[in-house]
Amino acid sequence: MTKNQLMSTDARIVECVLFIENEALDLERLCSMTNLDAKSVKKALGELDEAYQERGHGLRLKENSDGSWEFAPCSDLYDLLRSTYGRKVDRRLTRAAMETLSIVAYSQPITRKEIDNIRGVASDSIVRLLREREYIKVVGRKDVQGHPCLYGTSRKFLFEFGLKSISDLPRLSEIDRQRFDKGDEEDEGELFKDE
C-alpha cells in the first residue's frame, strides 16, 4: 500500500469499530459488529496494521495474547503519554511491590500463600495494592481446601510494561527460576499441626 492509496472499505470499517468501541475486540466480535466474514476481517486487520506502520502514526494496531485486537500507543510514546496523563504516581511501585508483581508475572496463576512462601513474608497489603492499581487480577480459584484465589497479571500490566503477552517477559536464569518456584507443597506441618 502506498502513502496515497486509500484503505479498502472493509479496513476502514474495522478501523472505525475498533476506534468507537475503544476496547480490545476478538475476531468473532469484529465479524459480528462489521457484518464481515473472518477472512475479510483478518485481511482488513492486516491492511490496517500495514497502513499504521507505514505512515508513522502515534497509534498501532495491537494483537493481544488472547487473540483480541485494539489500538494502542506506539511503544516509543509510552513515557510521554504516562507523564501527560498523570500515571507517574500510579507507576511508582515500592521494591516489595515490584518483587511481588514479578513473582505473579513469572509464576501465574499463583495464590497469595504461594507468593508469601516465595517472598518469605506476608504479602496481603501488596497484593491488595496491585489489585487496586489493576496490575494483577483474580484469574480463578485453586482446587484445594479453602479454594484460595489465583492471581495473574492484567492487560494494564502488559500495557504499562510494553508487552504484547506474558511470553515477552525476559527469560529467567536457572537460579532465578528456582526462586520463583511456587513451592506447591503447602506446609504439611501447618495443615496437620493440630492432629
Angle between helices 95-107 and 112-119 (to 10 degrees): 120
Identify the CATH number of the domain in which residue 67 sits: 1.10.10.10
> Residue 47 belongs to what domain range?
9-73
Per-residue pLDDT tens over the stretch 42-86: 999 999 999 988 888 888 898 877 788 888 888 788 777 766 664
Residue 1, in any domain of the structure: no
Which of 65, 159, 37 shows the shortest CA–CA distance to 45? 37
The length of the chain is 195
Count of domains for the chain: 2
Per-residue pLDDT tens over the stretch 123-158: 888 999 899 888 999 999 999 998 999 999 998 888
Which of 74, 26, 80, 22 shows the shortest CA–CA distance to 49? 74
pLDDT of residue 33 exceeding 70: yes
Residue 80, in any domain of the structure: no
Q: Is there a single domain that holds both residue 111 and residue 34?
A: no
